Every structure is written in C-alpha cells, then in structure tokens.
Amino acid sequence: MSETLRMWIEIGFNLIYLTVIWWLVAAMIRRKSIVAPADRRAANLVIWAFGLLALGDTGHVGFRVLAYALGGLEARFSLFGAEFGLVGLGALSTAVTVTFFYLLVLELWRERFHRGQALPLRYGSLGALLVLAAGVRLILMIPSVNQWNAVVPPQPWSTVRNIPLMIQGLGVAYLILRDARLAGDRPFGWIGISILVSYACYLPVIFFVQQVPMLGMLMIPKTLAYVAIGFISYSELYRAGEHKARQVVDFQSS
C-alpha cells in the first residue's frame, strides 16, 4: 500500500469515526428521558465515558487530519512562545481521556452487577488495583521522557506508560466477562469481548509500531471495537429503555 493511499484511508476513517462517535453521544443525551429508571445511572455513566472518549479522540485523530491538511504529521503550532506538535498533543489528549474512560467503565461494571457496595473496597481488591493503575498511569505521563511532541511514541517509555492502561482495560474486561457469564448478561458479555478485541489490536501497535509503521493500521479495528461497545450500550440501555417505556404506556392505556 502506498503512503498516499494509506493517508487517505486514515483521513476518511477518522472523519467518519468522529462523526459516528459524536452522533452516538448526542443520541444518548437526547434519549436520556426514556431510559428505564433502573438503568439511568448506568446510562449516565455511558454518556460520560463516551463523551470523554469522543473529546480525547477529537484531539487524537482530529489533529492527525489537521496535520495532514497542514502538510504532514510533523506539523506544529506555537502557543505562548512554545511549539507543540499536533499529533503528539492529540496523543496526550486521548491518553488522558482513555484513562478516565476505563475508570468510568469500572464504575459501570459495579453499577450493572451491584458489586463492591461497601467501603473502603468500593470495587473489591481487583477493582482497587485498577484504580491504582489509573493513578500510576497519569503520573507516568508527566515526565519529559514521554516526548509528547513526537509523531512516533518513544520506546521503551511508550510501553512503560501503557502497562497501567493494559492492566485497567484487561482487568475491567475480566470483571465484566466474569459477572456477565454468571448473570447471563449477553450484551455486557459482548462489551467485555469488544474490550479484549481492542487490546488484541492495540498491543502490537504499542510494542512494534516503531519497527513496523504499517502496524498503525491496527488502530482502525481497535477503534471499531470501541464503536461496537458504544452501540451495544446504546441498544441495551437506551433503545431497550424505550421499549420498556412503551410497554408501560401500553399497559396503562389498556
């Protein structure tokens, strides 16, 4: 595949993805009033999670599109006398928001399956480890060795700062899959599977993209896995809530 073709595939996919993810967030907000009462807190958590994801990815993939428009991924801009790389700044934005995304998914797991109600272990021992991993990741993103202005993330630090995210994502996927199986909750079971798929695509990028740049294309199926999580959540909590609301109306009118 030529570099020009790869660029246009990336630009087209990024623009379609941002349109879909923001539409999904808007649709969730618009349908909040029809969510079943028992699902309202979970539905709000999904809105916050995907709102953060959309915001971070607007910086991540949106800035990549802007950089291409300005001449290439090395494009920079000046702010208060300092120079910033568009691609690196976008990578920082999504690195922060995806960390909080998984904290919200952890809380969604707790809400859905009524786990870890008692303090201080609100989420249980494994959940507490996932919260700690989020804190460690945010600290690891502070040092200058992160080179946030770089187009390609530096090794081995890229792996170091992503280890806590791996713990977060794979840990919450395990919790969801474990409890979804016990409860016979197929929609959330598919959410857990989608998280695993996203990591199966993401891990080769983390470890080897410096040596094999074309592995960056795996970010497309990784991103589609997140879109799948969004639509599964939307169908289960919002469209199902609409169905429940109609059932109540039909019952009351009969």
Question: How far apart, in whole angstroms, are the C-alpha atoms of residue 66 and residue 63?
Answer: 5
Torsion angle, CA of 13/190/206/16, rounded to 10 degrees? 10
Is residue 196 within 8 Å of 174, Cβ to Cβ? Answer: no
Of 60, 236, 229, 78, whose CA–CA distance to 151 is shortest?
Answer: 60
What are the tens digits of pLDDT across the range 96-139?
999 999 999 999 999 999 876 544 456 678 888 999 999 999 99
What class has domain 3-253?
Answer: mainly alpha
CA distance 114 to 124: 12
Q: Classify the C-alpha dihedral 228-198-67-12 as positive or negative.
A: negative
For residue 156, cis peptide bond before it (omega within 30 degrees of 0): yes
* pLDDT beneath 50, residues of the chain: 118-120, 245-254
What pLDDT sits at residue 73?
81
- Measured between alpha carbons, how far is 92 from 106 in angstroms, rounded to an integer? 22
Cβ(28)–Cβ(43) under 8 Å?
A: yes
Please tell me the distance from the alpha carbon of residue 111 to that of residue 32, in angstroms, as a whole number. 17
Q: Where are the alpha helices (DSSP H) in the chain?
A: 3-30, 40-69, 86-113, 124-140, 157-183, 186-208, 219-233, 240-253
**Residue-level pLDDT at 179:** 94
Integer Cα distance of 102 and 64 in angstroms: 24
pTM score: 0.88
What pLDDT is attached to residue 86? 83
- Check residue 140 and give its pLDDT: 95
